[in-house]
Chain A
């Protein structure tokens, strides 16, 4: 990937080099290049605008602090994806601890979500959801286990290949296929009543 700044094309490899030298314009270019992509992944996982913006900031600041450790074994984009996923899952754990938010274990891959405990506290979603369709999407995504949702979001939003998803999430290729398969199977079950309702 490349983009121009000061009328010059800068590829990711050069961008990393400049970042490691501590160039501030390179950091600005990095933020500008990846901000929307990171936001969309964060939002796909958290379904919350404000928290996703915080996650975007945390991701870039972590990159700023640790760019010296980046050896280039993976691409810059994959590294950013990995940091974003970790931040999102940490965010989810924070909410679970704070409000006992409806949560599906990250270890669960059978697609069976836990029953939603009733709570009067506003959840991160209820603050942003308004339209019925949006709510249906949010509810359906929420019912997926965290890891399955992450894989699904990478595939559907970012169009990443199975290999790229495996690199970004640190799981095996077979596990990516399996999680994607279970995510879609679960979504089909969730969406089935809605489809039938529409057909009536």
Chain B
């Protein structure tokens, strides 16, 4: 630990020294400590050298990049993005008016049809079947809405037949 007041090593303070975060007084004391402490000196030198190597390494990598080509790529992609967004927003924008217009037209057609179309009377449209028996007659016919069945009963019952049945 490099405490400038006690002249002992203080790792945290050494860290702040590396960041240039010490007051003038703290810095002077730290430098005095470093003169007499080989271990701290080596640590400062190692970190400083590493930082410099890192900066050189990044600079080397930066020099290897064609930034004009990179810029061109970015601009082209941005332009494409803008165009596709423009197309999509135009389509969405057109939907904003088309959908309500279509819905309104649909509603108008519906009301016009239900109000102005002539209503058909529920008359029979076809007789499906009919037969006449001794006691009753049956007629089945259709209207546009339903299928109806009508029964007629013969009131003059045949007594002989009834007696035969008993």
Residue B147 at the chain A interface, CB threshold 8 Å: no
Contact B71 A128 (CB under 8 A): no
Please name the residue on chain A nearest to B43 by beta carbon: A188
Contact B62 A27 (CB under 8 A): no
**Chain B interface residues toward A at CB < 8 A:** 11-12, 15, 18-19, 21, 42-43, 45-47, 50-51, 53-55, 57-58, 60-62, 64-65, 67, 70-71, 73-75, 77-79, 81-82
Residues in B with CB closer than 8 Å to A181 are 11-12, 15
Contact A60 B62 (CB under 8 A): no
Shortest distance from the beta carbon of B25 to any chain A beta carbon, whole Å = 20
Residues in A with CB closer than 8 Å to B42 are 195
Residue A96 at the chain B interface, CB threshold 8 Å: no
Main SS at interface, chain A = helix
Contact A184 B75 (CB under 8 A): no
CA distance A27 to B75 in the complex (A): 8
| Contact residues on A (Cβ < 8 Å of other chain), bracket | 35 or more
Shortest distance from the beta carbon of A164 to any chain B beta carbon, whole Å = 12
Residue A76 at the chain B interface, CB threshold 8 Å: no
Residues in A with CB closer than 8 Å to B45 are 195
Residues in B with CB closer than 8 Å to A180 are 15, 19
Residue A53 at the chain B interface, CB threshold 8 Å: yes
Residue A105 at the chain B interface, CB threshold 8 Å: no
Contact B54 A137 (CB under 8 A): yes
Residue A65 at the chain B interface, CB threshold 8 Å: yes
CA distance A60 to B81 in the complex (A): 12
Chosen A-B contacts, 16 in total, with CB atoms closer than 8 Å, are A35-B71, A39-B61, A40-B61, A43-B62, A56-B70, A57-B70, A57-B74, A57-B77, A133-B57, A137-B53, A156-B51, A156-B55, A184-B15, A187-B50, A188-B43, A188-B46
Residues in A with CB closer than 8 Å to B61 are 39-40, 43, 49, 52, 128
